[in-house]
Amino acid sequence: MEANANATKNGTKTLPSDLQQVGVVAKYDVLKYLRSRRLLGILIIEALVLVLITALVATSDRPHTVDEVISQYIGFVSILIVLGATLFGGDAIVSEYQNRTGFLLFPNPVKKSSILAGKFASSVAAMSLMLLIYYAVAIVGGLLMGDGGMSTRVFASLGLALLYGISAIAVAFLISSIMKGSTGALILTFALFFLIFSIATSLIGQLGGIKPWFMLDFSGGSLSYIMNNPYPVDSVDTIGIGSGMSYTIYNYFPEVYLSIAVMLAYTVVSLVLAYVFFQRRQMAA
Amino acid sequence: MTEPIVISKLTKDFGGFKAVDDLSLTVPHRSFMGFLGPNGAGKTTSIKILTNMLSATSGEAYLNGVDVTKDPKTALANVGAVVETPEFYPYLTPRETLAYLGELRGMRKEDIDRRSKEVLETVKMTEWADKRIGKFSKGMKQRIAIAQAILHEPAVIILDEPTSGLDPRGMVEVREILMELKKADYTVFMSSHLLNEVQEVCTDVALINRGKLLRAGTVADLVGQVTVRRIEVQTMEKVTGELLNKVSKLEGVTELRAAGENHFIFSIDGGNEAQSKALTDLQSVGLKVVSFKESGLALETLYMSLIKESR
């Protein structure tokens, strides 16, 4: 059969490349974050956290180094990342189905892989903006309230935070590609990081005595530990509790390079699975 | 030249239920084809396969010569579609929505600006062009949906029940837009279960039921095939059993039933001549006929008989 798809009613046209379409989807998805209350909401939460930590550090009598002050701020980054992943990625895919905007978008000559990549890029951009603002304020706070110079570990922490953010968004996209409703997807994403992952990590590490290096939240912890000098090492402490009985405490810390590998693996596997589910998902009703 | 839409042995099986069953259909170049069938006939499923929203179990569906089941991006390059009643991104205005979809299709900025102005005028949404869509009514959204379908001047437009769910005013407004499309040289494939809409707007029609094609052709040809007419009669006399008994014995009268105190309806086969004779016969048996008129559309008669046969 002769193909004449590029011949329009009044001439010819060439479709943009997949990559160009990724850019278009990302551009308009970023607009969604800028105009919705989600980005504003998370920035308000971020501002409140920053104000609170600043007030605590400023009123503390103990002298701090710049890195110690910045570490105080960094202690809350993981929570912000989970919130960001939930709000920026939790319903990115499912909303096209539940809100019926897929009826508008999908009949266009654009591959689902381009839609997924574009949405992912915009979510990562929103997450990055949130983290960059947070770290910028933390650095300024550290320099103003701390003594001495700032180490490059801060930038390493920022890099790990960005990677943790990216991998958390990828997991959120996977959930979003499977779930039927936006609310369920948002709740599950939040619960996965705050409850399921943390409970599983505790059970595996504290009760099982197995280092949970393969857990995403455990790997994400490296963004805080990297501020310690020297970097903490694993330890096993056995404490006697009388009558010949003892209690063993396992202290596990993520190794930086292994953490990076785990976060990358979560990102790749989650995105591939999200794509497979999204590709197979049909606009049935 | 390849016909703009060619469906070949298309089947969609939902776990044992065949929503589309070995459907083959060709939509001629520059025709306005109505895709007609009752609820659950397989119209929307077929259109969703054509627009890459559903995968086909088997068969092929070509848009401008490209199989949409194999290469949807290329196949949809020159197609505009409105499927069901789409929702819009509430944070975008109509102009921004058109820009988004135009950019996805590779249109240049100046072309997007020019065409957005034109299509928003066509669908009478110019004054709403820069308002966010979030609070728009269903009718307004449907007009924007049609605007985005014609933005890039596609060769083929696919519409899935474009007046469905609209109030009477909205239906009239959308139908006016459809008449405008008919004047332009698009090929339009439009599903509907509204027979008057199809007979009013379409040049061609395809009838479908239970996923199978029953009949396809030009509206004129199909209407011409209809020889059975439904006649509605109003009399001075009250419609009694005796009166109906008399009428039932007249030549060619079938499906006779009372429709009110002074009304009855019957069907007659044989075109204008039979219809004229029926009026004479009614008067010859002593009925005082107040009105005698053809009831319903010819397409409706054909539709009902084909649907009945296919059960």
Please count the other Cβ atoms lying within 10 Å of the Cβ belonging to residue B57. 15
B63 Cβ contact list (under 8 Å, min separation 6): A5, B4, B5, B50, B75, B76, B78, B79, B156
Considering the domain architecture, whether residues B162 and B104 belong to the same structural domain is answered as yes
Considering the domain architecture, whether residues B111 and B233 belong to the same structural domain is answered as no
Q: Comparing A3-17, A50-64, A248-262, which segment has the lowest mean pLDDT?
A: A3-17
Structural domain of B281: 228-310
Q: What pLDDT is stored for residue A186 in this prediction?
A: 95
Considering the domain architecture, whether residues B218 and B233 belong to the same structural domain is answered as no
For the segment A79-100, the average pLDDT, to the nearest whole number, is: 94
CB half-sphere exposure, B211, CA atoms < 13 A:
16
Per-position DSSP letters for B166-231, written without gaps between them: --HHHHHHHHHHHHHHHHTT-EEEEEES-HHHHHHH-SEEEEEETTEEEEEEEHHHHHHT--EEEE
Residue A122: list chain B partners with CB under 8 A: none
H-only helix segments in chain A = 18-35, 37-58, 66-74, 77-89, 94-98, 102-105, 112-145, 153-178, 182-191, 197-202, 216-220, 222-225, 256-280
Cα distance between residue A53 and residue A51, in whole Å = 6
Q: What pLDDT is stored for residue A67 in this prediction?
A: 93
Short-list A111, A132, A108, A105, CA closest to A29: A105
Interface check for B74 against chain A (CB to CB < 8 A): the answer is yes
Maximum C-alpha span of chain A: 92
CB half-sphere exposure, A60, CA atoms < 13 A:
15
Considering the domain architecture, whether residues B165 and B104 belong to the same structural domain is answered as yes
Considering the domain architecture, whether residues B194 and B132 belong to the same structural domain is answered as yes
Q: Comparing A10-14, B185-189, B298-302, which segment has the lowest mean pLDDT?
A: A10-14
Single-letter amino acid code for the residue at B125: M
| Domain final residue pick, B176, B191, B224 | B224
For the segment A82-87, the average pLDDT, to the nearest whole number, is: 96
Instruction: For residue A147, give the DSSP letter.
Output: B
| Domain final residue pick, B201, B224, B247 | B224
- Confidence bin at A13 (pLDDT 50/70/90): low
Cα distance between residue A50 and residue A33, in whole Å = 21
Considering the domain architecture, whether residues B286 and B265 belong to the same structural domain is answered as yes
Note the pTM of the prediction, 2 decimals.
0.87
Interface check for B77 against chain A (CB to CB < 8 A): the answer is yes
- Confidence bin at B69 (pLDDT 50/70/90): very high
| Domain final residue pick, B175, B209, B224 | B224
Total domain count for chain B?
2
CATH of the domain at B262: 3.30.70.100
For the segment A194-202, the average pLDDT, to the nearest whole number, is: 93
Q: Which of B83, B101, B104, B144 to mutate to test the interface with A (most CBs of A within 10 A)?
A: B104
Considering the domain architecture, whether residues B45 and B144 belong to the same structural domain is answered as yes
Residue B67: list chain A partners with CB under 8 A: 1
Considering the domain architecture, whether residues B206 and B233 belong to the same structural domain is answered as no
- Confidence bin at B310 (pLDDT 50/70/90): low
Interface check for B274 against chain A (CB to CB < 8 A): the answer is no
CATH of the domain at B51: 3.40.50.300
- Confidence bin at A6 (pLDDT 50/70/90): very low
For the segment A83-88, the average pLDDT, to the nearest whole number, is: 96
pLDDT tens digits for B94-133? 999 999 999 999 999 999 999 999 999 988 999 999 999 9
Residue B27: exposure state from Cβ atoms within 10 A (0-12, 13-18, ≥19): buried
Q: What pLDDT is stored for residue A255 in this prediction?
A: 95
Considering the domain architecture, whether residues B250 and B188 belong to the same structural domain is answered as no
Considering the domain architecture, whether residues B122 and B252 belong to the same structural domain is answered as no
Considering the domain architecture, whether residues B159 and B22 belong to the same structural domain is answered as yes
